[in-house]
Structure 1
Amino acid sequence: MRFFLQRAAFYLFTLWAAITINFFLPRMMKGDPITAYLARNQGKVSPEAVESLKILFGLEQDRSLWDQYVQYWALLLQGDLGRSLSKGLVPVTEVIADALPWTLGLVGIATIISFFVGTVVGTYIGWRRGSKAEGVIPAATFLSTVPYFWLGLIMIAVFSTTLGWFPASHAYDKTLQPGWDWEFIGSVIYHGTLPALTIVITSLGGWILGMRNMMITVLDEDYVTVAQAKGLPPRQVVTQYAARNAVLPQLSSFALALGFIVGGTLILEMIFSYPGLGLRLFEATLAKDYPLMQGIFLVITLSVLVANIIADIAYAAMDPRTRQEEAQ
């Protein structure tokens, strides 16, 4: 119980600090959303409408930054993230709700696939250290150093422009109506293949190398030697003794990877014109759309915190020593 209370206090403080930074960071940028909106709509907005927009976004000249901060917390506790000026005053929650499933579907599935494949391959290579299987390491390491956006451009040039196997942009065929039918689902999978492969290929090497190194370290432990001396089957030694302990550091990295799913593919979504949260964040930054930027940053923060909480719980459940050390 002491372990969980300590972690809860830490995450509550982290959440407060992240939300506070989330409020002040956009306001440190040059300009404001009203000025940017007027620059895009010169002569189309009346002075009365400008004043109404300033009141709506809390940007009146007589309102201090502290008053805006207090109002931000008051609206946030009510579940109101404000309205997006760059999206025609649509509620920020609606903009995020429309974009979030695309990012989760693409990056989430690709990250999970790369983690499990990399962990399994790294386990095998670590167990068979010194064998020909280690020839995978140089290739995987090289691919992990390639920027994912650069690899994405190569994928488009080869598999879309040259071979014509996959589309180069968008999340689905624009002639289709979104729905839970096989034609639309097939189109989503078809359009998401290239960006998903890009994520898997660039992240696979890190998982393989990390798991392989941990397996080599764990295999020298006494409990693995004892398990082998007992005559246990090799598969049981690998799964129940070596891999179970070697995978623990991987869980923390996996949690961070899951947390950054929401906002970690900004450039990739721009390259493939994929309507995810990263592309919306880029558009909001250009328009200095404070509410939308704050809403997306908040989702990113919450996703990272939740992912770390899940990793802490899983780590503590798999390794009781963690609970004992934190509780001391």
Structure 2
Amino acid sequence: MKDQEITVTLTQTKKEKLPADQLVFGKTFTDHMFIMDYSTENGWYDPRIVPYQKISLDPSTMIFHYGQSVFEGLKAYYSQDGKIQLFRPEKNFERMNRSNDRLCIPPVDEEFVLKALKELIVVDQDWIPTAEGTSLYIRPFIISTEPYLGVSPSEHYKFMIIMSPVGSYYKEGINPVKIHVENEYVRAAAGGTGKAKTGGNYAASLRAQANAEEKGYSQVLWLDAKEKKYIEEVGSMNIFFKIDGEVHTPVLNESILEGVTRNSTIQLLKHWGINVVERKISVEEIYEAHAAGKLEEAFGTGTAAVISPVGELFWNDHQIVINDGKTGEISKKLYDTITGIQTGKVEDPFGWVVEVGEKQETVQSK
């Protein structure tokens, strides 16, 4: 795999780019995409960068019927000195292979797909926005492509990377969001696919998410499937609580996705000398901490929003307003530091940043 040449076919018709203030998350896509195919006979083969395009699949293709898919999300940024930077991309491809294993999808060569991603970014480097708070969102994903109606792992797959220039994930920006605690539906259970990044997990969340939005809440906070008592994660992010000077977050289990930003946040907090406790946390405990005046902050972490302060939780008809609905000190410091590291404004003491290169002339077709 490592020795395979990535062929490049450049588009003859470039798309018009939107101004930064008109970017909507996940609506606009760059001129090119990366594709490679898999078969049991050939392994992963034919890696190529091609113009962004539709794909054609047989109606019996297994992805439509059995949902065998995984995906990732990461971002590229321009630094202040003109370099293109990625933030811990190796962690995303490590997690993709963990998801692949759970979904019976063949692993990808992590080093090779990172190389492919870098080449794709160079081809579409002019799509990386430079305005404050913007970035180039990157979506690697794999789908099963064998035309067969049978419940078994596919023998054919496509790995693709598409990219989208984005502004802030939430219309509220860094301002606190309101979150509804879900008591009826469950997203994932022990032994299921909760810790894999697969499309079915998100399909299972849609009804609760729609209900929450109807009530004026941006996201859903999920509880454990067995007792509906312990906090797990928010739809698009992991969750943290600052209680009486300490930061607490749910301990990872089989139904919580291991977030890259979650891991980075824990490392940063410990670097600053703040005690971080990973444990089971009941929603009732959060309610009681708020009633006692000990719940000082809450915030979510994820690639899309980075750090998202939580200003309100709604649980069992209880409106839990946190920090008077304002962004907390730790949330703001984390956001400024992580985004600063990502864009080169803040020193990176952990070696998290991976440079793609400096702005350069577009590569030619091979």
Q: TM-score range by the shorter chain?
A: under 0.3
TM-score by length of 1: 0.25
More helix as a share of residues: 1
More RCO (CA 8 Å, sep 6+): 1
More strand as a share of residues: 2
Larger radius of gyration: 1
